[in-house]
Structure 1
Amino acid sequence: MQNVKHIFGIFADYLGQYFKTRLAYRADFLGDFVSNLISELINLVFIIVVFTHVPLMKEWTRDEIIFIYGFFLVPYALFSMFFGFWDFNERYIIRGEMDRILTRPIHNLAQVCLESIAPDRIFGVITGLIIMGYAAFQLDLTFYWYDLFIFIGLVISGALIYGGVYTAIAAVSFFSDSRTGIAPMIYNIQQYGRYPVDVYNKAIRFVLTYVLPFAFVGIYPAAYFLRKEVWYTYAALTPVVAVIFFGIGLLVWNWGVTKYRGAGS
């Protein structure tokens, strides 16, 4: 427990110093925010254009799809802040920086996350909330005081699901020094989680629920706020799925570290 508190303390100190540095150059900080906002809004415009021709998607309205998309962005942004595994294979395995990581006292996964932390991804959270707010206004949704706590819990759970899946994928690099990995393919699959699973066939629905549970970072938790009672059970299971898959990711990572033999000379 003391070690966990120490790690979180380091994360907090790092974030504090990062934002002090970025806010010293406010124009650059604002530019990043605007560029990220525009990028996500382009995707939003794509959804709106599609629904001008297709008013319903298996009984899901345009604004409901937009709400799901906005929710989908929030846990993904949190995950992207703390789990920067995009260049893990190249940087830590091929270049041998994992050797340096393993000589330090803090858990190696926490060190990798600290070195690749990207606090500017918080802009994705803001964008997602704006999109959700727009859709909620259009749908005239009603929220209760406890929905804020449920929202926070579901968002953190979604981020942990992402973390578990991509930690396990990154750990594959311990068994192979190939420059290519499966992360790009998984990234493409995760995009399916921003749409209702009942528009897909049974095979895809099974994968998105039980194998790569990206439905639990998009449609299932968002369905609770959309008052889609048929999906309430899945929404309630989101924290359970998060614990299971993050635990699996950590186990695979620790196993991979024991198989790591160093970069050599």
Structure 2
Amino acid sequence: MAEVLDRTVRMYALLAWTWVRAAARYPVSMVLLALGVAAVGALDLLAIVLMFAHAPVIAGFTGTEVIFLYGTGALAFAVSDLLFGTTERLGLHIRQGTLDAMLVRPVSPLVQVATEEFSPRRLGKLIPAAAVLAIVLPRLDAPWDAGRIAMVPLMVLCGIAIFAGLWVLTASLHFVLIEGHAATKAVTYGGGFLTQYPMSVFGRDFVRGVTFAVPLAFVNWQPALYVLDRPDPAGLPSWLRFASPAAAVLVCAAAALAWRTGLAWRTGLRHYRSTGS
């Protein structure tokens, strides 16, 4: 297992580096595109700043606390998007028959799809999230101790794993759906946007749904409640604040199972029968 994982990581890095070298042949274009992506990503932060220009507190949270949520959620989503965002193209490969060519290569089709046209410009999404997080952490009014300090990087890592699992899980739906971009993006991009705001702005039933059905609350909301020493507005038990690692493992396990076997649909990669083209 360790040998297979090591080979997979090495092949991912090799293919990604090949695409990066190709993009680096046009360095000015690469830098400008990355800056453009960063500017677009900063628009979400601008929306939060504008909201707090008219209200000091929203849903019981201050501007600093909401920006903390933005930074952790956006950083986790940006890294997962960088690593697995192109898996959403799986449906296109299935319809065009190009997935068949991937199956005969000595590299995992998931690695091939995930590294397809790997572009450094997507690094631009990391810039506003990482910069904001570095600025807001020293200004955050939280009862800092060793546990809370350790929780910040842990929640980001777990958030990356959860989003990565969701990317693969939703990509696996394309083995079943003819055109499922709208449905899958509602989970991935919609989930990335959702985690930038306090869950207290949404209804309790919705919060329970993104906690126990699609575990987006474990990206940063539940661990952030621990860091900020806040009670859960939805009244959920306090032990959920430490459940992000377990949620990440479950989502990634479900994604691996869906990719290989298709879960109940029996239409995953193992049961793929080609387009016939």
TM-score range, shorter chain: 0.7 to 0.9
In the alignment, the residues of structure 1 paired with residue 231 and residue 208 of structure 2 have an alpha-carbon distance, to the nearest angstrom, of 20
1:45 and 2:46 equivalent? yes
Q: TM-score, normalised by structure 2?
A: 0.82
SS at match of 1:53: coil
**Aligned with 1:240 (options 238, 241, 246):** 246
1:68 Cα deviation from its structure 2 partner: 0.6
| Pairwise CA RMSD | 2.7
Q: Identity over aligned residues, as a percent?
A: 22
Q: Deviations over 1:172-194 (max 9, x none)?
A: 21123336551132233542222
Q: TM-score, normalised by structure 1?
A: 0.86
**Equivalent position of 1:94 in the other structure:** 95
In the alignment, the residues of structure 1 paired with residue 15 and residue 148 of structure 2 have an alpha-carbon distance, to the nearest angstrom, of 30
Provide closer, same or farther for how the CA distance between residues 166 and 44 of structure 1 changes in structure 2, counting only shifts above 3 A: same
**Equivalent position of 1:10 in the other structure:** 11
SS at match of 2:104: coil
1:196 Cα deviation from its structure 2 partner: 1.7
Q: Is the 8 A contact 2:30 2:120 kept in 1?
A: no
Provide closer, same or farther for how the CA distance between residues 31 and 233 of structure 1 changes in structure 2, counting only shifts above 3 A: farther
Q: Deviations over 1:119-164 (max 9, x none)?
A: 4323222321111123234436686688776544332321221122
**Equivalent position of 1:262 in the other structure:** 274
Give the letter for the 2:34 counterpart: F
SS at match of 2:88: coil
Give structure 1 stretches of 5+ with no counterpart. none
Give structure 2 stretches of 5+ with no counterpart. 262-267
**Aligned with 1:215 (options 212, 217, 220):** 217
**Equivalent position of 2:257 in the other structure:** 251
1:240 Cα deviation from its structure 2 partner: 0.9
In the alignment, the residues of structure 1 paired with residue 146 and residue 19 of structure 2 have an alpha-carbon distance, to the nearest angstrom, of 33
**Equivalent position of 1:198 in the other structure:** 200
1:19 Cα deviation from its structure 2 partner: 4.3
In the alignment, the residues of structure 1 paired with residue 176 and residue 24 of structure 2 have an alpha-carbon distance, to the nearest angstrom, of 41
In the alignment, the residues of structure 2 paired with residue 146 and residue 203 of structure 1 have an alpha-carbon distance, to the nearest angstrom, of 30
Q: Deviations over 1:77-130 (max 9, x none)?
A: 11111211232212x110011111222333332232232544432322232111
1:25 Cα deviation from its structure 2 partner: 3.9
Corresponding residue pairs, total: 264
In the alignment, the residues of structure 1 paired with residue 122 and residue 225 of structure 2 have an alpha-carbon distance, to the nearest angstrom, of 25
In the alignment, the residues of structure 2 paired with residue 34 and residue 167 of structure 1 have an alpha-carbon distance, to the nearest angstrom, of 27
In the alignment, the residues of structure 2 paired with residue 76 and residue 124 of structure 1 have an alpha-carbon distance, to the nearest angstrom, of 9
In the alignment, the residues of structure 2 paired with residue 244 and residue 179 of structure 1 have an alpha-carbon distance, to the nearest angstrom, of 23
Summarize the alignment of residues 122-141 of structure 1 with structure 2, pairs less than 5 Å apart: 122-139=123-140
Provide closer, same or farther for how the CA distance between residues 28 and 146 of structure 1 changes in structure 2, counting only shifts above 3 A: farther
In the alignment, the residues of structure 1 paired with residue 154 and residue 95 of structure 2 have an alpha-carbon distance, to the nearest angstrom, of 37
